[in-house]
Structure 1
Amino acid sequence: MTRETVEELLRRIGAGDHDRTAELFADRIDWQLNWPAQGHPSVPWIRPRAGRGDMAEHFRMLDACHVPEKNGTSVTRILVDGDDAVVLGEIAQTVRATGEAYTSAFALHLTVENGLVTRYHIYEDSLTIARALADETTADHTPSA
């Protein structure tokens, strides 16, 4: 059931079906989205979430900030162990406001219980994403000596 739920979740996210995507989440979830932990104005979707009621808004905010027709996000592997699944892939998006394209590897750790997602932990290069949304160049952020 875990693999089927994860594959359906990914289908719904990919289709932009936010309300039906939210239906796959439990009323309460263990949510984690890395830096910036308390949010940042350029990445408004990175903030605490508690459960099903927050999830449609999360995916709507993502879509509002990006050009859906230019989404090249891909999944390279889904690993399942009991109730847990890890989705590996690459985010490839274009920022609506700036036209800035960015890519970031990601890992998504999900737990599925009774057909509903109870854990959603995503690990990505949030700094690259924040910089793209803030209209900064992502080419080189190495401090000069």
Structure 2
Amino acid sequence: MTTRAVVEELLRRIGTGDPEHIAELYAERGDWKLDWPEAEHGRAATPWIRHRSTRADAAAHYRELAEHHVLEDVATVIERILIDGDDAVVLGEIRQTARPTGRAYRARFALHLTVENGLVTRHHVYEDSLAVAQAFEPEGSEERG
């Protein structure tokens, strides 16, 4: 499969919400990073935000993401997919609602993927982490302005 075909299939599977089926497109070992401050990784409110390295980790990511969002209120707008050999960059915006607070948010993102032998070996996400963090902050938190 070409890089574009794998990326388009990955995005399609993410849209279906089946973590195990999504994870099948990831290599057994990979490089998965999220561009968040290290101190914010693994917070109780956002446990899916952490580095990962295995196919099982990928499935866990999508399960944790679903557990913490209102599934009926999820949308992703893909604006562009750029391909350069084995590398792809997906640009867009996620629209979700935090299950614990009920707050909706939008976050722009860039997703850098590398595809080798038909599987994703790199998954680096750059997103508006402030929008996500604010949606999950408890009411009355000092950080909310």
Counterpart selection for 2:44 from 41, 45, 51: 41
Worse-superposed segment, 104-113 or 25-34: 25-34
Contact 2:73–2:96 (8 Å) recurs in 1: yes
Q: 1:133 aligned to 2:141?
A: no
Match runs of 1:1-145 below 5 Å: 1-37=2-38, 38-135=41-138
> How far is 1:141 from its partner?
6.0
Unpaired runs of at least 5, structure 1? none
Worse-superposed segment, 115-124 or 32-41: 32-41
CA–CA separation in structure 2 for the residues paired with 1:85 and 1:69: 28
Contact 1:36–1:46 (8 Å) recurs in 2: no
Contact 2:137–2:144 (8 Å) recurs in 1: no
Unpaired runs of at least 5, structure 2? none
Contact 1:29–1:117 (8 Å) recurs in 2: yes
| Percentage of pairs with the same residue | 59
Q: Which amino acid aligns with 1:24?
A: L
Q: Which amino acid aligns with 2:113?
A: L
> How far is 1:127 from its partner?
2.2
Q: What's the TM-score, normalizing by structure 1? A: 0.90
CA–CA separation in structure 1 for the residues paired with 2:122 and 2:31: 5
Contact 1:18–1:59 (8 Å) recurs in 2: yes
4+ long deviations beyond 4 Å: none
CA–CA separation in structure 1 for the residues paired with 2:16 and 2:121: 21
The number of residues matched between the two structures is 140
Q: What's the TM-score, normalizing by structure 2? A: 0.90
Deviations 1:41-97 (A, max 9, x none): 221101121121111110010011001111122111100010000000001101112
Q: Which amino acid aligns with 1:75?
A: I
Worse-superposed segment, 111-120 or 127-136: 127-136
Deviations 1:2-32 (A, max 9, x none): 0000000001111001101101000111111
Contact 1:35–1:127 (8 Å) recurs in 2: no
Q: Which amino acid aligns with 1:9?
A: L
